[in-house]
Structure formats: C-alpha cells, structure tokens
C-alpha cells in the first residue's frame, strides 16, 4: 500500500512540472526540461493544410454562431431557474471555449502551418483550457443526463440531489473539475502534422513522458457511464411502451428529453474513446483526423440537438432572431376571429 501511495505521489509531482500552475508560479516560463523548444530550425517549420484548415475554421465559425444564439436563448428563458438549464448553460460555456480553441484557432494553425515552437507559450496555455473545457463538457453532459432522467420520475432518488440550491453545489463540483483540469494536469499541444491537439509537444522527447492518465481516466469513465446510462434509458423506454397502463407510457416530450440526453452522451463517449485509444496506441493520420473532426462535431451536435429537439429553446431562438414574428402571428390570429 505504501509503495502504491508513493507511486501516485511521484506521478503527481512529476506531472506538476508540466502543468499550468507550475508555469504561472515559475514567472510564466515554460519548464526547461519538457516544453522549451530546441534551437534546431526544423522544429519551427510546420505543415500547411489549406483545405482542412479552412474547413475546420468554417466549421468552428458556424458552430460558434449557432451556439451563441442557443446560449442567449437559454439565458433568457424562464427555465433558467431549473437545474437542467443551469447545467446546460455550464455545458454551453465549456463548449464555446472549446470551439474557439479546437476549431477556430486550430483551423488558423492548420491553414498557416503553425508549429508548437512558433508560439509555444500561446499554444501551451490554449492547450490547458482546451483540455479542461473538454473535461467540463464530459462531466456536465453526464450530470445533465441524470437530471433529465430524474425529471421523468418525481420519486427518483437522484431528483432530490438537484432540488433547490443543491444544483449550485453540483455546479461547484463541475467547476472544480474544470479548474483542476486547467491548472493541475498536462495540457494538450497543437501538432502541425496531425492538425490536432496531442500531449506530446514533439520536441525530441519520448512521447511516454507526456501521457496524461487523468485524461485517459476521464475518457474511460465517460464511456463506461454512458454505456450504463444507455442501458438505463433503454429499460425506461421499454417499460414505458410495454406497460398496459397508458398513463405510464412515455409522452413524445419525454421521449425527446431522453433522446437529447442519449445524443449528448453518445457524441461525448465516441470522442472520448477515440482520444483514449490514440493516447494508448499509435493512431494513423486518418484516425487522428477523424478523432479531431468528431471532437468538433461533438460540440456542434449539442446546439443542433437543442434546435431540433428542444421546443423551448427553438422558440426562444425564433424570438431572438425575429422579435416581431410573435406579434405578427398574434395580430393575424385576432383578425381572423
């Protein structure tokens, strides 16, 4: 037991020198052993990916536009007082930051062939926030799924965990998780060859020195909990449709709520599994590109789900975009009476 504790302590101490907190306390200087680029000019020459860079950038702008509108709709909705909408706002903020880094900044880097050694400090800091917001998205999407399922059954034990001000404690835990991911674990670093974010800065050190076990644990837990959650959702759906009591059958609204939760967890678990695999095993360039595009689509899928399956958000978005449409509808309906 003592040897295990010592091993964990050594891992934490070893990782600390690679974290953003070390960077800040070290007078904003990168660790000389692990993140300072050699003088070799070849490390400053990147690979330009004009097509994919432009594509990823445009995807990011499109997703950011949709998500901004959705967040405005969520924030202005009367439902904002509910636990689900508070978690949705937290998830949205994490996703927007992720899109800014993993799509828009990533697209610019890919288009111009930027390498880590061109802007090491900028990429290092962006990587810290990229990783932490991903961890925040994973945690909040799972919490949202639990809340949505609890909303379907007022007697559910989990529902009491979110009543009243208790949801604020849940949000605090999610924020603490993001804070930990930002300042106390290794960041991801943009890789010019793969056009994505990996942990190895590719400066001549062994990649085994940069494996992030917190990230692997996070992704593995997301996959395991999502699969468990899928099974629970399936049992709810089957019980609701097989029961002879019509009052216990799931309504269309309840099915849509379950489907939203399912899709959120599905996209996060696919991205999580791909990136966990790429850390543990050598992935091909195609697989790595697919993994990154899945990561981007994962963020975009949330606002797409909102606009297609969430009637409240969809109506709020319509009011934001066309504020006079409701008045026109009301006037026309009155004139037809």
Indicate the domain borders of the chain.
1-31, 50-324
d(C-alpha 44, C-alpha 113), whole Å: 10
- The stretch 26-43 carries a mean pLDDT of 89
Q: Is the pLDDT of residue 334 over 50?
A: no
Average of per-residue pLDDT across 179-188: 96
Please check the confidence at residue 246 and state whether its pLDDT lies above 80.
Answer: no
Cα 234 from chain centroid (whole Å): 24
**Which pLDDT does position 4 carry in this prediction?**
46
Q: What is the pLDDT of residue 271?
A: 80
Give the whole-angstrom CA distance, residue 325 versus residue 153: 36
The confidence score (pLDDT) of residue 158 equals: 67
Predicted structure pTM score? 0.84
**Most confident residue range from 167-176, 233-242, 297-306:** 167-176
Residue of 256 and 162 predicted with greater confidence: 162
For 274-310, how does the pLDDT look when each residue is reduced to its tens digit (9 = 90+)? 877 777 776 677 888 888 888 888 788 888 888 887 8
> What pLDDT sits at residue 23?
96
What's the pLDDT score for residue 67?
92
pLDDT band at 177 (very low <50, low <70, confident <90, very high): very high
The torsion defined by the Cα of 323, 58, 175 and 82, in degrees rounded to 10, comes to: 30
| Cα–Cα distance for residue pair 72/225, rounded to 1 Å | 30
Work out the widest C-alpha separation in the chain, in whole angstroms: 81
The reported pLDDT for the residue numbered 172 is 96
Position 22 pLDDT exceeds 60 = yes
pLDDT digit string, tens, across residues 55-112 = 999 999 999 999 999 999 999 888 888 898 999 999 999 999 999 999 999 999 999 9
Distances (CA, A) of 143 to 43, 72, 140, 147: 42, 21, 5, 6
Phi, psi of 42 (to 5 degrees): -65, -25
Condensed to tens digits (0 to 9), the pLDDT of residues 300-332 reads 888 888 888 788 888 888 888 877 655 544 444
Q: What pLDDT is recorded for position 131? A: 95
Q: CA 91 to CA 73: how far, in whole Å?
A: 14
Give the total residue count for the chain: 337
* For range 30-46, the mean pLDDT: 88
Specify which residues 197 forms β-bridges with: 190
The position carrying tokens 């993140």 is 35
- What pLDDT was estimated at residue 8? 47
Residue 241 has pLDDT above 70, yes or no: no
Kindly state the average pLDDT of the residues 214-221.
89
CATH for 50-324 (2.40.50.100, 1.10.3720.10, 3.40.50.720, 1.20.1070.10): 1.20.1070.10
Mean pLDDT value across the chain: 82
pLDDT of residue 15: 83
């Amino acid at each position: 037991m003592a040897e295990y504790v010592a091993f964990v302590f050594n891992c934490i101490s070893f990782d600390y020198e690679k974290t953003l907190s070390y960077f800040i306390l070290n007078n904003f200087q990168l660790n000389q052993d692990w993140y300072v680029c050699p003088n070799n000019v070849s490390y400053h020459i990147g690979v330009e990916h004009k097509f994919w860079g432009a594509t990823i950038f445009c995807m990011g702008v499109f997703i950011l536009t949709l998500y901004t509108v959705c967040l405005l709709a969520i924030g202005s909705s009367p439902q904002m007082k509910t636990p689900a909408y508070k978690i949705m706002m937290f998830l949205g903020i994490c996703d927007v930051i992720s899109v800014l880094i993993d799509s828009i900044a990533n697209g610019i880097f890919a288009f111009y062939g930027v390498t880590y050694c061109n802007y090491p400090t900028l990429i290092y800091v962006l990587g810290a926030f990229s990783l932490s917001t991903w961890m925040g998205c994973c945690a909040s999407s799972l919490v949202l799924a639990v809340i949505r399922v609890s909303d379907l059954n007022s007697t559910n034990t989990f529902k009491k965990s979110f009543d009243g001000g208790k949801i604020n404690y849940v949000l605090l835990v999610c924020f603490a998780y993001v804070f930990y991911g930002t300042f106390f674990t290794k960041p991801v670093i943009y890789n010019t060859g793969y056009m994505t974010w990996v942990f190895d800065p590719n400066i001549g050190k062994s990649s085994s020195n940069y494996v992030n076990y917190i990230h692997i644990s996070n992704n593995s837990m997301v996959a395991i909990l999502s699969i468990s959650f899928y099974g629970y959702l399936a049992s709810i759906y089957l019980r609701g449709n097989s029961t002879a009591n019509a009052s216990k059958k799931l309504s269309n609204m309840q099915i849509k709520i379950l489907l939203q939760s399912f899709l959120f967890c599905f996209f996060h678990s696919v991205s999580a599994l791909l990136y966990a695999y790429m850390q543990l095993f050598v992935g091909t360039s195609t697989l790595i590109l697919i993994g990154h595009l899945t990561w981007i689509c994962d963020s975009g899928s949330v606002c797409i789900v909102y606009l297609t399956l969430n009637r409240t958000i969809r109506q709020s978005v319509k009011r934001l975009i066309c504020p006079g449409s409701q008045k026109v509808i009301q006037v026309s309906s009155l004139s037809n009476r």
